[in-house]
């Protein structure tokens, strides 16, 4: 069992600092000799909390707590102001909705970094819910359901597939830029396709095709440099950084 060397308080395995005395859990007690008696003297200067000394989980928790405090404070303050001015909740419902959705997204990003499917699916659901609620507040749900949510779905899908591809790459360098450009072109085509299908009842690609045609040669050159010329295998070497 992990115990603080200064005050003897039992600590969790992930604790780097004692919650009672504030000293580092792995800092030894300084011993000194006074006359013929040996006494243990605690370090006079208390060690300061160092963010870099914390574990990754502790760092993520601190970032989440700060983000939650800021967002909840904004929601509470705007709600109080709205109540004082309007006597009931009016415009502050937008702030409340956006703040809570942002908090959910931040929670997923911080604690679900290694679970890409849960991360992207959760962010998609929260963003879709945000669009639906905003349309519901304005009493017009057509834009969110017919345009917003389909566009958001394809954006998250393409980015999710790109993240999986990058994670499985053995050599990561300028090929990431090439695949990212191709993904951006696909997203543009999805956006224009959904908009034209909704407004014109047919798929019609114009500006997105121009974007894709401009992207493909650049991506092909980058992929050629990365896979054909073996000496260029990372961004630092490519740009002499």
Sole residue written with tokens 């009016």: 90
Please tell me the least confidently modeled range out of 7-16, 87-96, 154-163. Answer: 7-16
Q: Is the pLDDT of residue 154 over 80?
A: yes
- Taking the C-alpha atoms of residue 121 and residue 88, their distance in angstroms, rounded to an integer, is 34
pLDDT bucket at 23, cuts 50 / 70 / 90: low
Quick one: pLDDT at residue 34? 46
- Taking the C-alpha atoms of residue 114 and residue 37, their distance in angstroms, rounded to an integer, is 55
Tell me the mean pLDDT in the region 191-216: 88
Compute the mean pLDDT over every residue in the chain, rounded to the nearest whole number.
79
Tell me the mean pLDDT in the region 154-168: 91
Please tell me the least confidently modeled range out of 135-139, 177-181, 199-203, 237-241. Answer: 237-241
Q: Which two tokens stand for residue 47?
A: 């060690």
pLDDT bucket at 50, cuts 50 / 70 / 90: low
CA angle 184, 185, 186 (to 5 degrees): 90
- Taking the C-alpha atoms of residue 180 and residue 126, their distance in angstroms, rounded to an integer, is 24
- 28 φψ region: left (φ > 0), alpha (ψ -120 to 50), beta (else): beta
Tell me the mean pLDDT in the region 223-241: 63
Helix (H) or strand (E) holding 194: helix 174-200
Q: Is the pLDDT of residue 181 over 90?
A: yes
Whole-angstrom CA distances from 149 to 93, 153, 190, 230 are 21, 6, 12, 42
- Taking the C-alpha atoms of residue 123 and residue 97, their distance in angstroms, rounded to an integer, is 14
Quick one: pLDDT at residue 38? 44
Quick one: pLDDT at residue 48? 47
- Segments making up each domain of the chain, as ranges: 1-43, 169-241
């Amino acid at each position: 069992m992990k115990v603080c060397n200064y005050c003897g308080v039992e600590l969790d395995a992930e604790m780097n600092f004692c919650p009672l005395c504030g000293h580092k859990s792995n800092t030894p007690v300084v011993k000194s000799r006074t006359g013929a008696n040996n006494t243990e003297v605690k370090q006079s200067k208390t060690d300061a909390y160092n963010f870099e000394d914390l574990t990754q989980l502790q760092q993520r928790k601190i970032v989440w707590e700060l983000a939650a405090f800021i967002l909840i404070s904004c929601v509470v303050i705007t709600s109080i102001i709205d109540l004082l001015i309007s006597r009931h909740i009016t415009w502050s419902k937008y702030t409340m909705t956006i703040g809570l959705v942002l908090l959910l997204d931040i929670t997923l990003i911080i604690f679900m970094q290694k679970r890409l499917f849960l991360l992207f699916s959760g962010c998609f659901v929260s963003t879709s819910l945000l669009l639906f609620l905003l349309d519901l507040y304005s009493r017009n749900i057509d834009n969110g359901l017919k345009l917003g949510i389909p566009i958001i779905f394809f954006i998250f899908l393409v980015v999710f597939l790109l993240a999986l591809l990058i994670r499985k790459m053995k050599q990561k360098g300028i090929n990431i830029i090439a695949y990212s450009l191709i993904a951006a072109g696909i997203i543009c085509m999805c956006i224009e396709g959904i908009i034209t299908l909704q407004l014109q009842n047919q798929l019609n690609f114009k500006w997105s095709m121009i974007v894709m045609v401009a992207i493909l040669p650049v991506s092909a050159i980058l992929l050629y440099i990365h896979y054909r010329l073996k000496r260029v295998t990372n961004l630092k070497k490519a740009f002499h950084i």
